[in-house]
Amino acid sequence: MTQIGRGSKRHHIAVPGRDGARITLTWAALTDKGYKRSANEDSLIAKSPIFAVADGMGGHSAGDVASAAVVNRLAERVSGQYVDEKSIDASLRAAVADMEKGAGRTDLGTGTTVTGFALTLAEGQPSWLVFNIGDSRVYELEDGELRQLTVDHSIVQELLDAGAITPSEAEVHPHSNVITRAVGFNEDPVPDFSLVPVVAGTRLLACSDGLTKELTEHGIRHFLTVGTSPLDAAGQLMDAALGNGGRDNVTVVVVDVLETPESPLPPARRGARRH
């Protein structure tokens, strides 16, 4: 398990070309090996402008090598305030080469899911660049409504898309852990990318499937809603996943958007000490 970044109480990002305009974020990240696994093969990065979760696979230590390779390569991009699609793609390609060198001999090969979101500039305007390979997920909570921003690359998702099974059947399907796309296994990574507006008052979650195996979307929405801060929400999600069995490694990254140029904080709050 590799964890890059943990949390920030208040982090400011300047908006280019707009005097004094800024985005203010706060975030927290937690990971646990759960009760059934002997090791934690999840890794995460929670360091602006990139927030991501990687769930390694491949047996023995290979999964840990794969997930660590991804977050370490993504971490090379955090020196700036914004990143672009080309940079994320290049990081994932470099991570595949790292995996091939670091995993050693394994009959299963090695790979990892990766999902997350990063601040980017789209036509000069700040946006979230959401990216995904595999079945880890990104959610957004806005005005009490939860939206899944990523689409799983899995056998179950393909069956859902074809209308062969219902959502309730998908939750208990025996092939729920079989994914159709990954970073690694000697193949070029093919991430999905999408742009999402950066909106004040929203809360975003990146999580491994160790969370979604234990909690329904109703449960995820509940804990994201009642959490008084990113750390509180992350802690409640983690406690609930472990309390429901903790059958897999569980990783969560929760990010709050406190301020945007369209919705600035009041002057008294803007002057609060930066952490």
Q: DSSP H helical segments within 118-256, as ranges?
A: 155-161, 167-171, 209-212, 217-226, 230-243
**pLDDT value for 40:** 94
Q: 67: closest CA among 177, 181, 183?
A: 183
Comparing C-alpha atoms, which of 34, 44, 260, 221 is closest to residue 140?
221
User: Is residue 124 classed exposed, middle or buried when 0-12, 13-18 and 19+ CB atoms within 10 A define those classes?
Assistant: exposed
Q: Per-residue pLDDT for 275 more than 60?
A: no
- 3-class state of residue 7 by DSSP: strand
pLDDT, tens only, 168-197: 766 666 666 778 888 887 678 989 999 999
On the CB side of 162, CA atoms within 13 Å amount to 8
Domains of the chain: 3-149+178-270 (3.60.40.10)
Residue scoring higher pLDDT (166 or 122): 122
Report pLDDT for 274: 39
Those residues with Cβ within 8 angstroms of residue 269's Cβ, 6 or more apart along the chain or in another chain: none
Q: What angle do CA 255, 261, 263 make, to 5 degrees?
A: 75
pLDDT surpasses 90 at 267:
no
At 36-55, the pLDDT tens digits run 988 999 999 999 999 999 99
Lowest mean pLDDT among 51-65, 152-166, 190-204: 152-166
pLDDT band at 232 (very low <50, low <70, confident <90, very high): very high
CB-based contact 73:85 (threshold 8 Å)? no
Q: Exposure of 260 by Cβ count < 10 A (0-12 exposed, 13-18 middle, 19+ buried)?
A: buried
- CA 90 and chain centroid, separation: 18
State pLDDT tens for residues 73-108: 999 999 899 999 999 999 999 999 888 776 555 555
| Res 59: pLDDT | 59
- Output the six-digit token pair for 273: 């000490």
Q: Under a CB-based contact definition with an 8 Å cutoff, are residues 184 and 110 in contact?
A: yes
H/E run at residue 126: strand 125-133
